[in-house]
Copies of this chain bind each other. A is one copy, B any other.
């Protein structure tokens, strides 16, 4: 891990850009931290540059709870090399949605599963590096989407002790099978009227999680319209589980 730049985004929050191998990312910490703090990995749909304002806002809210936050670019997104196969699958998925059809499971698999297979080891390597920093202690949470990546991480990565998922992307059936093996506390945000999402699939996924403690928090407002109170509620979840 190499830090490539740093700046204050608030009086008390330090934002550092880094690369792990050829994967760029950001780390946000309280500038005044003296003891190692818990860490939340921020999932997102890809495209760090356009996602940055929302990610930084989430990191700020977590910093106010005393937590560090970090994210990395997704495979094939932003300035990382594109995947022709993924781009084809994305075009097919959008075409299905535009014509009012449910995308086929085959297209969802082709779009999401290679992304999960590539992204999860990258998150794990990044986590190794982050936990080596003296200012990061743990425990570790995962917050956001792509939910299929979050599910695989929750299954594979014992250092993640709580996850707040955003159910806002299509989920392969095989990931719903994997969800039975998730046992950590979960907080799942669902936008009930999200047109680019399959609500029933999200409910099936929530049902499948093996966790004894799981909360579904569903709201109106469309894909990007998560109400402020729902965001605060998700942060309260992390406050309960990472402190």
Number of copies: 2
Minimum CB–CB distance for A201 against chain B, Å: 14
Binding site for B on A (CB under 8 A): 192, 203, 206-207, 211-220, 227, 229-230, 233, 236-237, 240
Q: What is the bound-complex CA distance between A227 and B211, given in angstroms?
A: 14
A to B CB contacts below 8 Å, 14 in the list: A192-B214, A206-B218, A211-B220, A213-B220, A213-B227, A215-B217, A215-B218, A215-B219, A215-B227, A215-B230, A216-B217, A216-B218, A216-B219, A229-B236
**Pairs A-B, 5 closest by C-beta atoms:** A216-B218, A215-B219, A217-B217, A214-B220, A233-B233
Q: What is the bound-complex CA distance between A203 and B203, given in angstroms?
A: 10
Q: What is the bound-complex CA distance between A218 and B213, given in angstroms?
A: 11
Minimum CB–CB distance for A188 against chain B, Å: 9
Which of A207, A217, A236 lies at the interface centre, i.e. has the most chain B CB atoms within 10 A of its CB? A217
Minimum CB–CB distance for A200 against chain B, Å: 9
A188 and chain B: residue at smallest CB distance: B218
Are the C-beta atoms of A207 and B229 separated by less than 8 Å? no
Q: What is the bound-complex CA distance between A218 and B212, given in angstroms?
A: 13
Minimum CB–CB distance for A40 against chain B, Å: 18
Q: What is the bound-complex CA distance between A219 and B186, given in angstroms?
A: 10
